[in-house]
Amino acid sequence: MGKSNNKISAFLKRKGVEFSFKRYFVDALGAMGVGLFSSLITGLILRTIGTKAGIPILVEFGGLASSMTGAAIAVAIAQALKAPPMVVFSCVAVGFAGNTWGGPVGAFLGAVVASEAGKIISKETKIDIIATPSGTIIAGMAVAKLAGPTVSAMMTGIGIVIMNATELQPGPMGAIVSALMGMILTLPISSAALAVALNLSGLAAGAATVGCSTQMIGFAVMSFRENGVAGLLSQGLGTSMLQMPNIVRHPMIWVPPTLASAILGPISTLVFKMENIPSGAGMGTSGFVGQFGAIDAMGSSPAVLMQIGLMHFLLPAVTTLAIAEIMRKLGLIKPGDMKLDL
């Protein structure tokens, strides 16, 4: 029995198949976020610009880009799991089918199983050109068909509970959603993928966007003395995930943007009643996707644009910086703690 297990372990290792939380909920989920950005989210940006600027061709391009969400998710995941080229290409069909049956969650499940199954089958038979794509597609589509709708419904149900709770208790839930989603954005987990999987919208999505924006703008501003303009742009418009190595070494630097998120979340839900859509809720200020999402949900009136500027940029910067400066004076944050190698 022991020898048999060793043989299986050696075979899986040779094939690059590793069953771990990091592989599937960090690497694969992060890749899902890349796939979403390359299709659904970019499509949202193009559609919004096209609609507001009266450019029909951009609206059409955006719609077509969004329609390929499942395929983009699957290819991104297959590449992240280091699948061979034929497996990656076969995952296009799996992702499309998975998205059809179970939305982005269905595409995620199908792509993970298809990638690993394809890697196991690849180069193991004399009819590889038939066996590998067939095995990849059958394994991935079977899981997407059987589990995708159920898991997707479960995730949507959780999202509905969060949204309803935020509507009923906008103060405390605004703080919780804002702080947690902001932290998830900074962690090596895709907040964009989570927001889409939960189908988060309305006040909860608005609070999530504020939390994500606060992490990004907060880190960008409070680390300006260490990282300058390059750090300001790479964190403020890119991702606060760049600070994760520094957070591991100096955990106290995570307090200012997280506390600021918890403060600003209730202001978003109670005072401005800001909203967003699933594809914008977990993006913050990255590529201004969260802002385009807010415009899609709330319109583009001067009042809405002022709220976006205030809650996504100005108040996150001021609040986080104020908390950070107090902590610097107390010696809780030291010079160089947030230095990035840019």
Per-residue pLDDT tens for 36-69?
A: 889 988 888 898 889 889 999 999 999 999 999 9
Quote the pTM value: 0.82
* Per-position DSSP letters for 71-112, written without gaps between them: HHHHHHHHHHTT--HHHHHHHHHHHHHHHHHHHHHHHHHHHH
Percent of the chain residues past pLDDT 90, beyond the cut:
81
**pLDDT for residue 253 is more than 60:** yes
Q: Which range among 20-24, 137-141, 199-203, 311-315 shows the weakest confidence by mean pLDDT?
A: 20-24
**pLDDT for residue 340 is more than 80:** yes
Q: Over the stretch 282-299, which tens digit does the pLDDT of each residue have?
A: 999 988 999 999 999 999
Question: CA–CA separation, 342 vs 286, rounded Å?
Answer: 18
Phi, psi of 336 (to 5 degrees): 90, -10
* CA nearest neighbour of 282 among 21, 110, 30, 111: 30
Q: Over the stretch 130-162, which tens digit does the pLDDT of each residue have?
A: 999 999 999 999 999 999 999 999 999 999 999
Q: What is the pLDDT of residue 311?
A: 98
Q: Over the stretch 300-332, which tens digit does the pLDDT of each residue have?
A: 999 999 999 999 999 999 999 999 999 999 999
Q: What is the pLDDT of residue 2?
A: 59
